[in-house]
Structures are given as C-alpha cells and as structure tokens.
Amino acid sequence: MPFSYSRTVRFKDTDAAGVVYFANVLAMCHEACEESLAASSINLKVFFSNPVVAVPIVHTSVDFLRPMFCGDQVLINLITRQRSGDEFEIGYKILEAVADKVVAKAITRHVCIEPVSRTRKELPTEIIQWLQQWSI
C-alpha cells in the first residue's frame, strides 16, 4: 500500500524563477519518507539523531513534469521496495492536488550502514517492517 503525504508548497521552496527550486523537490520527497517512518511507529528523533544504523542515499533521480508554485497543495505518494538484505528503494509520485496532475516523479536508493564505520549492515527488523508496510 502506498503512503500518502500532503504538503503545501512554501515560499522558501521557491526561487527567482517563481517556481519550486529543483533540488527542493527531493527535500519534499524526503519529508514524505520521514512521515512514512513515523507512520510505522519509528521514532524520528532516535532514528535521525542517535541512530544504530543509517540509511544514506546512494542514488537518486527525478523527472520534473510541471512547475510548482508557492501555495500549491501537493500530494506525495511513496512506495518502498527492498532490493537486498542491506538495500532498498523508494519511489515517489508528486501530484498537484487541485488539478490532480503529476508534477514530478522521483526515486531514492538507500544502503544500510553502521553510522561510525560507514560499513554495510543488514537492515534492522523495524526498517524491514516499514518496507513491507508501504510496498505494493
């Protein structure tokens, strides 16, 4: 089941072209990811501030289909997919809510590491459960 996250486009997201600055689209996707973790009862403060594992992004890609403007309501649908014992991928579809049009699509690919040594580590149970909850 995909996870859905609703968000208003903020003034800070925009640039002098009057639309959302391209890299901020990825920040919106990451917000959706954080919300999906919280929705799976993962404590964000522990997960991001004092983690046993980290899940840095090793690859990302984005297709920008339509501009987004300050005040736009967007809906981000997120789907997770485990790729191996220490890798997963998240797919994002961003829709402008009023016109119900896809404005961007993105993926982020993550690996699980031990945060200090930065060596690969098996995904912990709570992440695997989160991956299962929001996969198709």
| Residues belonging to the active site | 15
* Binding of residue 6 to a second copy (CB under 8 A): no
* Binding of residue 36 to a second copy (CB under 8 A): no
Burial class from Cβ neighbours inside 10 Å (0-12, 13-18, 19+) for residue 49 reads: exposed
- For a second copy, the closer of residues 10 and 120 by Cβ is 10
* Binding of residue 21 to a second copy (CB under 8 A): yes
Region binding a second copy by CB under 8 A among candidate stretches 14-22, 74-82, 84-92, 127-135: 14-22
Cα distances (angstroms) measured from residue 35 to each of 19, 119, 121: 24, 26, 24
Out of 103, 108, 123, 134, the only residue in the binding site for a second copy (CB under 8 A) is 108
Region binding a second copy by CB under 8 A among candidate stretches 57-65, 81-89, 120-128: 57-65
Positive/negative CA dihedral, 29, 34, 37, 41: negative
Out of 1, 18, 100, 119, the only residue in the binding site for a second copy (CB under 8 A) is 18
Interatomic CA distance for residues 76 and 36, integer angstroms: 11
* Binding of residue 75 to a second copy (CB under 8 A): no
Out of 6, 31, 97, 122, the only residue in the binding site for a second copy (CB under 8 A) is 31
DSSP letter assigned to residue 58: E
- For a second copy, the closer of residues 62 and 128 by Cβ is 62
* Binding of residue 100 to a second copy (CB under 8 A): no
Exposure string for 53-62, b = 16+ CB within 10 A, e = fewer: bbbeeeeeeb
Contact 105, 94 (CB under 8 A): yes
